[in-house]
Amino acid sequence: MTAIAAERYTGASIKRSEDPRILTGTGRYVDDIKLPGMLHAAFVRSPMAHALVLSVDVSAARALPGVIAVLTGAELEEMTVPGPDALMALMGWAGPTPEFTLLATDKVRLVGDPVAVVIAENRYLAEDGCELVEVEYDDLPPVVDAAFALDPGSPPLFDNLGDNIARTHSRHEHGDVAGTFADADRVVDFHIDVHRHQNVPMEGRGCVASYDADSGVMTMHAATQSVHVTRIAVAMRLGMEQDKVRVLAGDIGGSFGLKIGASREELAVAAASRQVGRPVKWVEDRGENLTASGQAREESFDVRAAVSHDGDLLGLDLKMVIDTGSYPGMGAMVPDIMEAMLPGPYKLAAMGFESTAVTTNKACYVAYRGPWASETFVRERALNLIAKDLGLDQVEIRLRNVAPRSDPPTMMITGRPLVGVTARESLERVAELVDIPAFRRRQAQARAEGRYLGIGVATFIEAAPGPRSPEGPSGPMGLESMRLRLTEDGIVALFTGQMPHGQSHQTTLAQIAADEFGVPFEQVRVVVGDSAVVPFGLTGGSRSATMTGGVALHGARQLKAKVLDFAADLMEVSAQDLLITDGNVWVRGDPASAISVTEVARRAAAVIGPSGDGDGAAELEVEATYDGGEGGWSGGTHCAIVDVDAETGIVKVERYVAVEDCGALINPAVVEGQIRGGVAQGIGAVLLERSAYGEDGTFQSATFMDYLMPTACDIPRIEIEHLETVPLDADVNFRGVGEGGMIVAPPTVVNAIEDALSPFGVRIHEQHLPPARILELIAEADPGQ
């Protein structure tokens, strides 16, 4: 008698299959790769923010025993193909394209800009070699802030652009902006700044490039969010055929948007391996990571809001300048997403948005967990500033303005339907959980004792994946592909282009496929990290819960149908009468008929034969795609309670509550890990982290003594409650949660700090609030406000 398992893996906090190797030190990260004859690379980097390169003398470095090669920027140009950044090209960037070389040749544009690479027998010797490279620079005035970059007289970083505008000014209006502002009871305006901070995965960037001259094949062991984007980038820059580049990836020590594709350094390492004919490893150290890997945010906003006396937010009009740093990256593309997302779950009548992206002598803008997050910061900060002016409670003003759930759904003023958004429910639930009236009593009591407690809430939506567009040909995020195969050993193998780096895909995708196919969790294998065998894909943008979860579900269904067709012939019954549960195929109503999936797989393999030219119907493999189905939004409301020490400026986050709706949970522990991790980064961004530059463009936070990361003593327990209110799709109601914590935690915490400091009349128009800044705000404030 076959046991018929009723349990489902999906929805349970199944323990991660990644963990046994990770907990025992047997994970395989890129720095763990050792190849025969492998050499090590180190980069000579600019100490200047902006300078002409007059000469590069590598003779002493080349003479150092143990140094195999020193390649200058000019030499690398001869070994590579100039062209646009592969990622920008893939994303369809059509704006001004700066011309620059792989490593700096005539000009350096940031502190840390690589000018040469030293290849040596080990990393110590490679760094010794770097010390011996003499570079002569001629200073140029550094362009360190956006205001100077906007000045037509600032020296252009890229001569072919003629100025420091990375993306020219654009303005879009949605609804009747002039009319809405003219008719409003009040128009308030203020300026908001978001500071520069960065991803800081615990493992930096790195690769091992290994070129085989006989076959002409480049094998890259990479730390990447997409083996295929890295493959395309290497092939483009090295002038190789796409199929002669194979990218492999194992465990990856975090990324948060940093490791999409191949960086300039990784491309130089690939070129160096081809040049010297030996494998070359480069793993950046923390100084390189903080200085030169990339940074995020740094936007400033002039905000105008049209409001009614009762607290209706009628219109928003934003002018943004985004500082995208030196070399081109995602920074010029982010304004479009900010514009689309700015209304959030609120029923604005009109919205204006204009933006200019500038180029400065700082690290390149990279995607960092919710790259457009500042739209939420600005909106949620604005709501609290307005509420304060009108004497409204911060929950009340939000409840007043969130769009009701209706059929048809309210359209965001920027054009997307707010289908299934539960912002109102999350606000109401947060207010219940923290009991705001009780908190206000405690706050008043604490103030009487000279202690400053504050409460802050903020609400967000996350397009993970976002709703199906009414006019769109396919879903919200294009297509996701997966190849699924029942191996001859009876394993359901999922080949995915997802490249997990902490997100637990090897567990969550197996949960979904195991349930859908009907095999034990252990009988599913998730195959990632080899461009030769996995379809195109990218881990990022909170896409995988819906897109990859969906393709795993539908793909497993298709594979199961194929397996049942084969088994039906084998068992001489109709496929309609067959079931698969707990790894066994059996005839409905006749458990004694069961044969194992593994046995079916063996029979199929026997039919095909070792040469693979047998009956195609026995080929138990499918190529599945998924377009996101009905998609939908993730979102929710967070609440922080802080205790601000007005003497020292130290902020302690006493309590943090998140009410989130990401639809059906695949693995609650994984979901909650994503939320907590994002919130921790958001708390770090407000209280600790800043990528700081001096007036001359020197980088001032190149160590963990200067770039302060949150620790176990800085992050409180984060209470999470899930709403699972609105199923939109028959099968796939999983939505992403990768970015939400980092998107909404900064305004949540800043709103709480402002609330705590309200007896001083403090108004906050910025995001970075270390103790010294808290004390300044108190000193500058007008208690009459």
Residues in contact with another protein by the rule CB under 8 A: 13, 15-16, 18-29, 31-32, 34, 122, 124, 200-203, 251-254, 256, 285-286, 501-504, 669-670, 673, 676-677, 679-681, 703-705, 709, 711-713, 715, 717-718
Q: How far is the CB of 582 from another protein (least distance, A)?
A: 20
**Does the bond joining 155 to the residue before it have cis omega, within 30 degrees of 0?**
no
Q: What is the dihedral of CA 64, 68, 73, 79, to 10 degrees?
A: 160
Amino acid identity at 89: A
Environment class of residue 424 by beta-carbon count within 10 Å: exposed (0-12), middle (13-18) or buried (19+)?
A: middle
Q: Residue 107: enclosing H or E segment and its boundaries?
A: strand 107-108
Kindly tell me which of 129 and 142 has the beta carbon lying closer to another protein: 129
- Cα dihedral sign, 392-395-400-402: positive
Query: In the complex, what is the shortest distance from the CB of residue 706 to another protein, in angstroms, rounded to a whole number?
Result: 10
Q: Using alpha carbons only, what angle is made at residue 203 by residues 197 and 206, rounded to the nearest 5 degrees?
A: 105
SS (H, E, C) 704-743: CCCCCCCCCCCCCCEEEEECCCCCCCCCCCECCCCCHHHH
CA-based torsion, 102, 106, 109, 111: positive or negative = positive
Q: What would the two tokens of residue 201 be?
A: 């995965």
Residue 181 vs 256, nearer CB to another protein: 256
Nearest distance, CB of residue 118 and another protein, angstroms: 17
What DSSP string runs through 259-306?
A: TSS--HHHHHHHHHHHHHTS-EEEE--HHHHHHHS-BEEEEEEEEEEE
CB of 361 to another protein, least distance (A): 25
SS3 201: coil
Cβ of residue 666: shortest distance to another protein, in angstroms? 13
Nearest approach in angstroms of CB 509 to another protein is 16
Which of the 8 DSSP states describes residue 543?
Answer: -
**CB-nearer residue toward another protein: 505 or 562:** 505
Identify residue 24 by its one-letter amino acid code. T
Closer residue to another protein (CB): 178 or 709: 709
Nearer to another protein, 31 or 354 (CB): 31
Residue 21 vs 191, nearer CB to another protein:
21
Rounded to 5°, the CA angle 784-315-354 comes to 100
Q: How far is 190 from 192, CA to CA, in rounded Å?
A: 7
Residue number with CB closer to another protein (219 or 681): 681
Which tokens is 384 given?
């609290």
C-beta closer to another protein: residue 417 or 540: 540
User: What's the min distance (Å) between Cβ of 783 and another protein?
Assistant: 36
- Closer Cβ to another protein, 19 or 435, answer by number: 19
- One-letter amino acid for residue 436 of the chain: I
Coil, strand or helix at 766: strand
Contact present, 694 and 754 (Cβ < 8 Å): no
Nearer to another protein, 224 or 359 (CB): 224
**Cα separation values, 234 from 102, 209, 226, 335, 690, Å:** 12, 10, 12, 28, 32
Six-digit token string for 398: 């939000």
> Nearest approach, Cβ of 366 to another protein (angstroms)?
15
| Alpha carbons within 13 A on the beta-carbon side of 99 | 8
CB of 306 to another protein, least distance (A): 38
Shortest distance in whole angstroms from residue 18 CB to another protein: 7
Closest separation between CB of residue 235 and another protein, Å?
Answer: 27
CA 339 to chain CA mean position, Å: 18
Minimum distance of another protein from residue 338's CB (angstroms)? 24
How many helices (DSSP H) and strands (DSSP E) are in the chain?
A: 21, 26
Q: In the complex with another protein, which residue's Cβ is closer, 256 or 301?
A: 256
CB-nearer residue toward another protein: 8 or 28 = 28
By beta-carbon proximity to another protein, the closer residue of 131 and 590 is: 131
Cβ of residue 83: shortest distance to another protein, in angstroms? 32
Q: Quick one: 397 or 679, whose CB is closer to another protein?
A: 679
| Matching residue, tokens 């615990």 | 202
For residue 190, report the phi and psi dihedrals to the nearest 5 degrees.
-160, 170
Where does residue 171 rank: exposed (0-12), middle (13-18), buried (19+ CB within 10 A)? Answer: exposed
Backbone φ, ψ for residue 767 (5° rounding): -110, -25
Closest CA relative to residue 558, chosen from 603, 513, 495 = 513
**Minimum gap (Å) between residue 197 Cβ and another protein:** 12
Closer to another protein by Cβ: residue 627 or 689 = 689
218: exposed, middle or buried (C-beta count within 10 Å: 0-12, 13-18, 19+)? buried
Q: Based on CB atoms, which residue is closest to another protein, 2 or 122?
A: 122
Q: What is the DSSP string of 233-268?
A: HHHHHHT--GGGEEEE-------TTTTSS--HHHHH
First and final C-alpha spacing in the chain: 77
Q: Beta 631-644 vs 651-661: how paired, if at all?
A: antiparallel
Dihedral of alpha carbons 568, 574, 575, 578, sign: negative
Q: Which CB sits closer to another protein, 489 or 719?
A: 719
Nearest distance from C-beta of residue 16 to another protein, angstroms? 7
To another protein, the closest distance from the beta carbon of 711 in angstroms equals: 4
Q: Which is nearer to another protein, 199 or 733 (CB)?
A: 199
Report in angstroms how near the CB of residue 705 gets to another protein at its nearest: 7
Q: How far is the CB of 757 from another protein (least distance, A)?
A: 25
Q: For residue 576, what is the enclosing H or E element?
A: none
